[in-house]
Structure 1
Amino acid sequence: MFNVLKQKEKQIAVIGLGYVGLPIALEFARQFRVIGFDINEDRVAMMQRGEDPSHEISSDAFSHADITFTANPDDLKSANFFVVAVPTPVDDYKVPDLKPLQRASELVGRALKPGDYVIYESTVYPGCTEDDCVPVLEKNSGLKLGKGFKVGYSPERINPGDKHHTLTTILKVVSGNDAEALREIAAVYGAIIQAGVYQAPSIKVAEAAKVIENVQRDLNISLMNELSIIFDKMGIDTHEVLKAAGTKWNFLPFTPGLVGGHCIGIDPYYLLYKARQLGYDPQVINSGRRINDGMPAYIATKLLQMLLQRGKNPRQTKVLVMGLTFKENVSDIRNSKVADLVRELMKYAINVHLVDPHASPNEVAQEYRMTLMDTPSNQYDGIIVAVGHDEYRSLDVSYFKSLMNGAPILMDLKGLFKIAKGDGIEYWRM
């Protein structure tokens, strides 16, 4: 397969052109013929103009790329090496929602021909590729795994907003349903990944490796969040504690914060779901999720207490929340825990204003039914800096005081600022 792809006798198709799929498609298109497929016609139209809807990739990356963008499923029939990079969210009950993955598998299945390859990049629980996706491929293609087509799994490791750890500089884990599949998949990815590839012994191992990468981060951050709650009750600055503890060579540099997005805040539920299917209820993983999911309510309650201590009626207060995206310097608002924080504040009838230099007002309105202001107003009783955008890092005390009224409160969820007691602002950080 690798040789015919390299000679451009066959094509690669990437299904799902979000923050994972588009970089892969463009990188493949430097050496191979590529079809970039997405069901969103508006997004496809933007990419046809050389624009990244996620605002992560410059227009230069589209230049000289041998790629055709399409929303027509029939175009997939001319491909032979399929890479599936669609979202894998959870529903309102924190149960894995495999509908995007199943629909993508149906589309690929209808385009499959003898000898084709299908590689999944979407984060799933161990066994999902072979137990859930392969049957869909077989049903829609009339082919059988092994004899008719081959399957692999290569988990995405893209970090939105990170300009240092990019697709080609991160070691890529690959796997296949047999030795030949593993060899060919490793060769294809090896052609574009400068850091090299790691050949996992099985698809399940590769799936498990991906999901625990984010489970580990989730648990470490949950520990920091729990410590921040404890230290706040003691009147101790958590960041100063971590700074002191960090002088030891093997202390891990995690900090407290809101855990949202489509990886760390989602992936643990996939492993929880599979474990419970097998009759085991994970205690540590579940505890970490419970702590991190509870932080928006904790922060809202803390602000309420601070307002009441200053004799302010929450119904008559106005609070500015700065930042809504799930992390700094990105436009992605999916699974933003800041949105949860805003909802918690609204439960107390607090008037909340919301700003973010990176988020789209239309997407915020559609996703959360919230209004994103162009610029802040004034006379705020409190300001919450929720996301560490670069635009916020240079702000100083005078800026915040210019937006606030008497007895102002500044909640710094990312620990960006150094506010002294004599600066005239009640300062709090996690």
Structure 2
Amino acid sequence: MSLYERVVNKEETIAVVGLGYVGMPIAVAFAKKVDVIGFDLNTHKIEQYKNGVDPTNEVGDDAIRETTVEFTSDATRLQDAKFHIVAVPTPVNADKTPDLSPIEGVSKTIGRNLSKGSIVVYESTVYPGVTEDICIPILEKESGLKCGVDFKVGYSPERINPGDKVHRLENIIKIVSGLDEESLEEIAKIYELVVEVGVHRASSIKVAEAAKVVENSQRDINIAFMNELAMVFDRMGIDTQEVVDAMNTKWNALRFTPGLVGGHCIGVDPYYFLYEAEKLGYHSQIILSGRKINDGMGSFVGDAIIKKLILANKVVKQANVVILGVTFKENCPDTRNSKVEDIIKRLNEYEIDPIIVDPYADPLDAKHEYGVDLVPFDSINDADCVVFAVAHDMYRDMKMEQIEGMFKELPNKEKVIVDIKSILNKEELEKSGYSYWTL
């Protein structure tokens, strides 16, 4: 009997290792079909899940309360699983080189608790070669087992889009790969239990690894192009959004827009590709240029804020600047690698300590990541400048009276609004006399 059949018959268990924005929805989805152990080193997170709380907002508290996932921080429980899915983060170091310590650490943990006949599938984003050249040797060393003989390994890049309620695990085609044909088929069948639209079988693990970094690098480059246009159009006095709207009337327009590019995928994955390419003697021109442009957008926005304050006759150091949003994207509590931090740092250079408002973000995470204290939206009533940094729905739906209520008693021409994602009604604001700027 195959491992797939034993898993379906609940004779064997799936373990999901790493229960963040990716791992937790995977665990919950599989638990509807088979037995699942959900493991994470973060005991606080495990306690939240056990108490029916979803801190990621990916599936919701009700789904967490109802799931049969066995949440645990006890690594020895992994000994009871035969199919391991690894979904730990793969960040970059300060010098933009890959930080493989999380995936190396989790490989050691799994290796110490690995049994014969197991399959380990990595979902974490890596450059081509990491699974076979780094992870497998660790698994073998820690377990004393031989890969390809005693256990198998595969790679299936995560494609979950945090905060997106439309494109979900179930309706995004899953790329799968395996060490050999046998493991590929086992992995494909198991993922087909939860991925309704099916899987794409890659010919090798390296192909699957490359597909992930390339799809995010492609998005990064396209956004960088729009960001470069936005910087040029700003000098030309042309509204970028109006240009984009006009361009998008053509059927083959790609519909990218300018903005801050952070998070744990698009803002990170290209560096994994660049790192391996440079090791092989190839120095990227397009990908690296795109990264430089996108990494510089926070400073560009910060400088635009300062310019608008000066034009509104403000004493810059005394200006009250309110930033709405600190997460890396809209309608998502994830603050990791948020480029709003770069705006804050730029304003700090001018001795401005901005007020940060974000009801989606965890105050403890914001404090830990960026050293900022979040304040309630209702407490904002004396702003000189309001920066709409993240396109949360609550900000998109804001009425004029709510916007007016955030400012001091000033003539509207002295009230600065910076709308990074062009979510506000520009015509209405400019007609009311506000000093308005958008990227």
Give the TM-score band, short-chain normalised. Answer: over 0.9
* Cα distance in 2 between the residues matched to 1:139 and 1:229: 51
CA distance in 1, matches of 2:402, 2:33: 50
Q: How many residues align?
A: 430
Of the three residues 334, 345, 348, the one matched with 2:347 is 345
SS at match of 2:337: coil
C-alpha contact 1:317 1:351 (8 A) present in aligned 2: no
- 1:34 Cα offset (Å): 1.0
1:387 equivalenced with 2:396 (yes/no): no
Question: Relative to structure 1, is the Cα distance of residues 397 and 50 closer, same or farther in structure 2, using a 3 angstrom cutoff?
Answer: closer
Shift, 1:119, TM fit: 0.3
The equivalent residue for 2:132 is 130
Map 1:135-284 → 2, pairs under 5 A: 135-284=137-286
Distance 1:400 1:10 in 2: 56
Counterpart CA distance in 2 for 1:330 and 1:311 is: 36
Correspondence for 1:423 among 421, 432, 436: 432
Structure 1 residue 374: Cα displacement: 1.3
Quote the Cα distance in structure 2 between the aligned partners of 1:390 and 1:53: 18
| Alignment partner of 1:408 is 2:415 | yes
Q: Deviations over 1:305-324 (max 9, x none)?
A: 22222332211111110011
Contact 1:401 1:408 (C-alpha < 8 Å) held by counterparts: no
How far residue 62 of structure 1 moved from its aligned partner, in angstroms, is 3.4
Distance 2:7 2:74 in 1: 22
Letter in 1 for 2:224: S
Work out the CA distance in 2 between the residues paired with 1:395 and 1:146.
57
**Is 2:20 the partner of 1:33?**
no
In structure 2, what is the Cα distance between the partners aligned to 1:67 and 1:399? 42
What's 2:400 paired with?
397
The one-letter code matched in structure 2 to 1:275 is A
Q: Measure, in 1, the Cα distance between the counterparts of 2:68 and 2:423.
A: 43
1:236-265 deviation digits (Å, cap 9, x = unpaired): 000000111111111110000001111110
How is 1:357-396 mapped onto 2 (pairs within 5 angstroms)? 357-375=359-377, 376-396=379-399
CA–CA separation in structure 1 for the residues paired with 2:271 and 2:168: 26
- Distance (whole Å) between structure 1 residues aligned to residue 347 and residue 126 of structure 2: 33
Identical-pair percentage: 50
Task: Find 1:107's aligned residue among 106, 109, 112.
Answer: 109
1:54 to 53, 56, 67: 56
Residues of 2 paired with 1:418 and 1:26: CA distance? Answer: 40
Aligned to 2:316: 314
Cα distance in 2 for partners of 1:285, 1:42 equals: 38
Superposed CA RMSD: 1.2
Would the aligned equivalents of 2:54 and 2:64 in 1 still touch at CA under 8 Å?
A: no
CA contact (8 A) 2:358 2:374 kept: yes
Give the secondary structure class of the aligned counterpart of 2:56: coil
1:364-412 residue CA offsets vs partner (Å, 9 max, x unmatched):
1122111111134223221100011111112233432332243111010
Q: CA deviation at 1:213?
A: 1.0
In structure 1, the residue corresponding to 2:331 is in which secondary structure? Answer: coil
Give deviations 1:286-323, integer Å, cap 9, x for gaps. 00000000001111111112222233221111111001
1:343 shift after superposition: 1.4
Which among 304, 307, 324 is matched to residue 306 of structure 2? 304
Residue 63 of structure 1 deviates from its aligned partner by 5.3
Mapped contact 2:312–2:415 kept (Cα < 8 A):
no
Structure 2 residues without counterparts, runs of 5 or longer: none
- State the shift of 1:111 in Å: 1.2
**Which residue identity lines up with residue 267 of structure 1 in the other structure?**
D
The one-letter amino acid paired with 2:426 is: I
* Code of the aligned partner of 1:381: D
Q: How much has 1:64 moved relative to structure 2? A: 5.3
Q: For residue 136 of structure 1, report the CA deviation from its aligned partner.
A: 0.4
Structure 1 alignment gaps of length 5 or more: none
CA apart distance, 1:9: 1.1
